[in-house]
Amino acid sequence: MVLKLDAEGNIPASIKNPNIKVSELILYPNPSKSNLSIRTAIQRIGGEFEMCDISGKQVLQQKITKSITQINTNNLPAGT
């Protein structure tokens, strides 16, 4: 997984909410073998995230329903 950051440490997220600070998003463990956890700030609950492979193709899109989201990565293609 690759996070793109701008010069101010923000992650370009979407048109509706163009910047999320790195402190509002924590991914672990990195690297991941079978499960990935995404911890987000409480104010991000109700939003969505998408995961893209190295070429930029979307491989997963999911709604954030709690502050820690668990993702099973076993079914994701290599390079994601």
Instruction: Tell me the per-residue pLDDT of 9-24, one tens digit each, with 9 for 90 and over.
Output: 555 554 455 566 666 7
The edge-to-edge listing of strands for the beta sheet with 25-28 is: 25-28, 35-40, 68-72
pLDDT of 80: 64
Domain ranges for the chain, please list them.
10-72
For the purposes of burial, counting CB atoms within 10 Å of the CB of 36, is it exposed (0-12), middle (13-18) or buried (19 or more)? buried
Question: Nearest to residue 50, comparing CAs of 33, 40, 37, 63?
Answer: 63
3 state DSSP class of 44: helix
The tokens describing 35, both together, are 């499960």
pLDDT of 20: 64
Low-confidence stretches of the chain (pLDDT < 50) are 1-2, 14-15
